[in-house]
Amino acid sequence: MTPPRPNVHPAAAAAQQAFHPDIVQEVAKAVSENAVVVVGVSGLMPGKRACQLLEADGIPFEYLEYGSYFSGWRRRLALKMWVGWPTFPHVFIRGTFVGGASDLERLRDSGELKTLLGA
């Protein structure tokens, strides 16, 4: 789990950490075990685009999917609070959150993705 932010009261931080910790732990475990992890939502194009970018470059990745646009949003909210990012997908490279599909595309286009992967 991420340490509480300095401007969050300890009681609020405890409530954040107690909010669907199972989903956060599952993603944290995947991030620690895989070089690239994409966390998406069923049926949304940005998650599919992130996966397509990685597949096109032959980069292996773990894909985790939680609900659809209308279902599972409360559980996904725990991930948004954990990462501090408002939208999906969440893309992690070597344990570091890098943003969403557009951010992944910028990293690929600039060549930084290869650097982050150590290629």
Per domain, the residue ranges of the chain are: 10-117
Closest CA to 91 of 70, 69, 113: 113
Global confidence as pTM: 0.91
d(CA 88, CA 17): 20
- What number is the average pLDDT over the span 5-19? 85
CATH topology of domain 10-117: Glutaredoxin (3.40.30)
Cβ-proximal residues to 2 (8 Å cutoff; 6+ apart), any chain: 82
How does pLDDT run across 61-81, given as a tens digit for each residue? 999 999 998 999 999 999 999
